[in-house]
Chains A and B, each alone.
Chain A
Amino acid sequence: MKSFKHVNAKTVNEAVKSLKEHEGRAKLIAGGTDLLSTLKDKILPAYPETVINIKTIPNLNRIGEDGGGLKIGALAKLEEIAQSPVVKEKYKLLAEAAEAVATPQIRRMGTIGGNLCQDVRCWYYRYPHSVGGRILCYLKGGKGCYALTRENQYHSIFGGLRDASPPCSSACPGSVDIPSYLSQIREGDLPEAAKTLLNANPLPSVTGRVCPHFCEQECNRGDFDESVSIRDIERFMGDYILDNADEIIQAPKADTGKSVAIIGSGPAGLSAAYYLRMSGHRVTVFDRTEEAGGMLAYVIPAYRLPKDIVRRVVKAIENTGVEFKLKVDVGRDVTLDDLKRDFDGVFIANGAWNPVSIGLEGEELTRFGMEFLANINLGVKEVPGKKVLVIGGGNAAVDVAVSALRLGAEEAIMACLESREEMPALPWEIELAVEQGVKLMTSWGPHRVLKSDGKVRGMELVRCTSVFDGQGRFAPTFDNAVKETVAADQIMMAVGYATDFSFIKPGSSLKVEQGLITADPETQATGVPGVFAGGSVTHGPATVIEAIASGKRAAAAMDVYLKGKAKAEDKDEKTAEPFLRFNSDYLKKTSRVEMPKLPVAERSIDVEDALGLGLAEIEGESNRCFNCGCVSASSSDMGVVLVALGARIEIAGPGGVRTVPVEEFFSSLRTILEADEMVTEIQIPPPPPGAKQTFIKFRLRESVDFPIVSVASVITVDGGICRDARIVLGAVAPAPVRATMVEQAITGKAINAKTAEAASEAAVTGVIPLKMNAYKVEITKTLVKRAILS
């Protein structure tokens, strides 16, 4: 084991206080039979700095009845529970389960508290070495779950549970809860799916078209066959939202009376406007352009993002009560100080629109690519030149080059410093450009513009030998001896864009560094009270979803600022959530759906290339999502019988003591216990007098093993008829599950083979076995039958 400090707690308070002070870097030790294993194999997310012994707390091992039923202290050993006369007499189920745990030695050492809090018993997670070394599964912060497709006897047949977000959502700058809305689509609930999506991204019809889909690159399904086509589903949902905007995007119910000015109507501004409005603030968006949308309206080519979509998005936001003041130049028509005076808060999101100069000889004769794109969107659709040379290797350069060809240029060449692999443009964007006929000249640096009669004739380029230095910083080196001349009558520069701060008066307290406004990365606050900034002005040119995310962060922080208090965090009122469902055919290898596109020859400057998918197709694609989570089954035998007995768990924390039903205790992976809480007592109401209590545990070796399936039942039978039943399944789901369908199937019925047969079928409604554990379905049915007939 790695070293740790060891302390003895003398009271519950001392233990809890110490846990709190360690902020997650301490672990309690009771019997140690589980904890020491996890330490030896270093499987916990963080190795504890301190181990707090709670065996030194007196009186925490009592077992006794009072008026309300049986109380068992967390430190009661399993053997003591199994041998306790009162338990054996009235709470037989408990004694049987305790007796069935592990071995006599473990039962003499292990406590009931430790049994309930034991760590996940997935063999991949616990014994990575036995399956070929270090495994970084989902639960350890890695990507995939190993149990989905491999040996999985200790795993769920009822779906998984999540603790952190899955890889797709983690990769999304907007943290869209992807698997949840895909689940809602699978369930046929498009309005709910729309809500989930809008919670993180108010512009899905836009990102569904132009996002570089960071999520898909990380999708676990990609390791299996092909990643889920998340962006195409998002596009469908975005359009669905626009088609039903009146119902889905509604004005807030109440106004807060606070007002916000937003400078810039691009994705950051629109996102902040949407969320601030949803919180009930009055929002006014200023932009100097004629149409709202910023980059979305003016820079991104219409063949990728139709302008009608942008207009509909803006309209939907406007319909919630957001006011757009267009053709107002902040700095000229109205000052920042005016806005600060007239509004309760200001959000600066005016983007980055200015050309950057690279100090090239003859640069004044070149054209700024972004201005070219903006002009197209303003309706100027003239041939930009016969031979167009585009300088730059990013997505903007691709847009410029492709647009030039589509407007009638005979030739478009993209020249960039980077090699093809290093090019900042996304690989599929580059492919698109090549498909369109754009020629690539990689590893060339612009040297000087060739001209005659004041007109561009071409450019001299020199070999770029490397773009980045050893530290990965941009520091291009050239070999001036290797030259190349390219003839061109138009040169477009797409090497970046700069921010414009002319509206910030000298002496303003707004901090600007290296051409960007300094803002807190979590709240987007600028340091000037009430003034926030986001989007390209704070992080430089980036993607639409990054701008949206910063707008959302700003809106959340501004909401707190405007209301003068933090929103009361909805503190863990966790009810048992259903387990994560996925399509039971999830393991059939399938291809991702392909977005149909116009044939290359038919593509134009203002008609969208991508044709979109239908409902059936996106439903099919949603079916491919694994709904990633951990599918390890709960292993605590005590947990299963305690649910059957309707027990509650007493938990002590820094704030005092709370009690929760056992079902709720298990509703999260690794239980709902916070890092600074401990279990102190288990409270068990008396079972109905005369009820038949049965615990059946199926395992490989009777002498030691964990359950493959277990069933605990408390059944009251009167005159051969079942009057009341509580039946719980263990080891088949991430938590013990009440088999309510079974309970319903037998209550009021005569207990006989026929009833048991029907009940056993009911027990497995909705199973989704994993690739190799379908046999657990049959075992479950058999055990349920036996429990009923025993």
Chain B
Amino acid sequence: MKTDRDKGKASRGVATAEKNISLTVNGKPYELMVGKDVNPDHTLAYTLRETLGYTGTKIACDHGSCGACTVLMDGEAVLSCTMLTVECDGKKITTIEGLENRETGGLHPLQQAFIDNTAFQCGFCTPGIIMSAKALLDKNPSPTEEDIKQELAGHYCRCVSHYLVVKAILSLAEKGR
């Protein structure tokens, strides 16, 4: 895919971005060629959904203000709609699809907690919220209610499931204590 000619090509005095983008999504490695598999103007959300088929990641506002597109990047919750894929070279991404138990195919405890607490209605915001919750619990297995509210401040739920979301996460946080 990569030729030597591409490598040496510089644009207006600045070295161009690496022509190959390596991504690991849910443990699976991908090599994406710039200009072919991804364009400089593709957001990570776009690449995940349209190029790689991880449609569990949702795009709602596409402007960084709703949290629906949240994924984990090297363990941190980030907004994939507001990030260029070409700037994600070498990153490890986890999407909602990556939460299931690979051996059993069973749901992740967080997903189960959301079901148990009916923490969604339409569910559009849910993948993003669960990814933020995952990042939080990974760092702090027993967050307080206030910690949860703080961390989820960037998630917008049109169906107003927020209270049940907090309850669902708290149920796991208590297990962590």
Cβ contact within 8 Å between B67 and A105:
yes
- With a CB–CB cut-off of 8 A, which chain A residues contact B150? 104
- Given known A33-B64, A36-B43, A40-B62, contact A7–B12 (CB-CB < 8 A): yes
* B41 interfacial contact with A, CB 8 Å: yes
- With a CB–CB cut-off of 8 A, which chain A residues contact B63? 37, 40
* Complex: chain A residue closest to B34, CB-CB: A6
* B11 interfacial contact with A, CB 8 Å: yes
- With a CB–CB cut-off of 8 A, which chain A residues contact B62? 40
Cβ 8 A contact of A14, one of B14, B70, B81, B86: B14
* B15 interfacial contact with A, CB 8 Å: yes
- Interface residues of B, dominant DSSP: mixed
* Cβ < 8 Å to B, chain A residues 1-57: 1-10, 14-15, 17-18, 21-22, 29, 32-33, 36-37, 39-40, 50-53, 55
* A124 → chain B closest CB, angstroms: 16
Size of B's binding interface in residues, CB under 8 A: 33
- With a CB–CB cut-off of 8 A, which chain B residues contact A3? 39-41
- With a CB–CB cut-off of 8 A, which chain A residues contact B83? 32, 36, 109
Cβ 8 A contact of A52, one of B14, B65, B151: B14
Cβ contact within 8 Å between B41 and A704:
no
* A328 interfacial contact with B, CB 8 Å: no
Cβ contact within 8 Å between B14 and A9:
yes
Cβ contact within 8 Å between B14 and A108:
no
- Given known A9-B14, A50-B12, A104-B77, contact A29–B84 (CB-CB < 8 A): yes
Cβ contact within 8 Å between A103 and B154:
yes
* A102 interfacial contact with B, CB 8 Å: yes
A interface footprint on B25-68 (CB within 8 Å = 1, 0 otherwise): 00000000000000111010000000000000000001111010
Report the Cα distance A53→B87, complex, angstroms.
Answer: 8
* A703 interfacial contact with B, CB 8 Å: yes
Report the Cα distance A37→B63, complex, angstroms.
Answer: 6
* A504 interfacial contact with B, CB 8 Å: no
Cβ contact within 8 Å between A21 and B13:
yes
Cβ 8 A contact of B15, one of A8, A702, A703, A704: A8
- With a CB–CB cut-off of 8 A, which chain B residues contact A33? 64, 79, 82
Cβ contact within 8 Å between B13 and A18:
yes
Cβ contact within 8 Å between A32 and B82:
yes
Cβ contact within 8 Å between B78 and A108:
yes
* A309 interfacial contact with B, CB 8 Å: no
Cβ contact within 8 Å between B78 and A5:
no
Cβ 8 A contact of B82, one of A4, A50, A109: A109
* A106 interfacial contact with B, CB 8 Å: yes
Report the Cα distance A102→B17, complex, angstroms.
Answer: 30
Cβ contact within 8 Å between B78 and A6:
no
Cβ contact within 8 Å between B86 and A6:
yes
Cβ contact within 8 Å between A36 and B13:
no
- Best-surrounded residue of A9, A21, A50, A703 (most CB of chain B within 10 A): A703
Cβ contact within 8 Å between A703 and B154:
yes
* B86 → chain A closest CB, angstroms: 5
* A78 → chain B closest CB, angstroms: 13
* A680 → chain B closest CB, angstroms: 17
Cβ contact within 8 Å between A7 and B17:
yes
* Cβ < 8 Å to A, chain B residues 101-152: 132, 150-151
What are the 8 A-B residue pairs with the smallest beta carbon separation, nearest first?
A: A103-B154, A6-B40, A703-B153, A1-B41, A7-B14, A18-B14, A105-B154, A21-B12
- Taking Cβ atoms with an 8 Å cutoff, the residues of B that contact A are 11-17, 39-41, 43, 62-65, 67, 70, 76-79, 81-84, 86-87, 132, 150-151, 153-154, 156
- Taking Cβ atoms with an 8 Å cutoff, the residues of A that contact B are 1-10, 14-15, 17-18, 21-22, 29, 32-33, 36-37, 39-40, 50-53, 55, 102-106, 108-109, 702-704
Q: Apart from A8-B15, A36-B81, what are 12 other A-B pairs with CB-CB below 8 Å?
A: A5-B11, A6-B87, A9-B14, A10-B15, A18-B12, A32-B87, A33-B79, A33-B82, A36-B83, A105-B77, A109-B79, A703-B153
